[in-house]
Amino acid sequence: MGRRTPGAEPVPVASHHNMQTASGANDLVLHTEACFTAYPPDFLALLGLRPDSIGQAATLVSDIPRALAHLTPAERGALREPLFVFPTDRGSYLHEGRRTTEPVPLLRDRPDGPALEYSTLITAITPAGAAALAALEESLGRCAQSVLLGSGDLLLIDNRHAVHGRTAFRPAYDGADRWIQRVLLLRQLPSGGRIVPDTRLAHYPTDYIKALALPA
């Protein structure tokens, strides 16, 4: 087994209860898997091993093209501008006195259609960016569908065309909680190499990495 990374084995962990990670139990906000890392997966596969006994933990999936269709052209235009950051002490940019990642666009036009990278934890650095982000969050929430993963169910998510999250639930932490397994899939290995560096932790705040008890 390799070292553990956040969400590599999404089984609830008591010390992660309130954290934004697949091993947490509060609402897991809508996100693109591994957004803004070197290799966001093209797809993720979630396999239900053990369901949540009282059916609270629902995986949420929201279709990006459908959500974008509800935005105005000006809002979609703002999403194409480099106006969006993650707050993190390990960032190199300063916004309103706080360190963040470098501003990037959320929406890019690719040959196979618009590609969005998104997390509800992103903030905007201008009022136009903030308005577009609020409209997007509202629309993604409205378009979200929920799936209760039963034992043996396999959910395949197209990470370029959908964001996902999970509703809150109350694990007992007794070894019998909901348990899913996850595989991240890339259509093609980058630059012909066989080993893909894991850049998922590159911008995570130091406190978050410490709380997950992961190597930085």
Residues found near ligand AKG in the complex (CB under 6 A): 7, 10, 22, 28, 33, 44, 46, 59, 164, 166, 180, 182
DSSP lists the bridge partners of residue 31 as 119, 164
- Alpha helices by DSSP H, listed for the chain, are 64-69, 73-79, 127-143, 206-212
Minimum CB–partner distance for residue 28 and ligand AKG (Å): 5
- Residue 103 near residue 94, CB atoms below 8 Å: no
Q: Which residues of 131-153 are buried (b: 16+ CB within 10 A; e: fewer)?
A: ebbebbbebbeebbeebebeeee
Q: Which residues bind Fe ion (CB under 5 A)?
A: 33
Ranked by CB distance to Fe ion, the top (closest) residue is: 33
One-letter amino acid identity for 178?
R
Residue (10 or 129) nearer to ligand AKG, CB: 10
CB atoms within 10 A of CB 115: 17
Minimum CB–partner distance for residue 145 and ligand AKG (Å): 13
- Residue 133 binding: pick among Fe ion, ligand AKG, none (C-beta 5-8 Å cut-off by kind): none
Minimum CB–partner distance for residue 19 and ligand AKG (Å): 12
Minimum CB–partner distance for residue 106 and Fe ion (Å): 17
Residue (76 or 182) nearer to ligand AKG, CB: 182
- Residue 59 binding: pick among ligand AKG, Fe ion, none (C-beta 5-8 Å cut-off by kind): ligand AKG
Cα dist from 189 to 30, 40, 52, 58, 202, whole Å: 26, 12, 35, 31, 20
Residue (67 or 135) nearer to ligand AKG, CB: 67
Residue (83 or 140) nearer to ligand AKG, CB: 140
Residue (120 or 123) nearer to ligand AKG, CB: 120
Number of H helices, E strands in the chain: 4, 13
Residue 150 φ/ψ, nearest 5 degrees: -90, 175
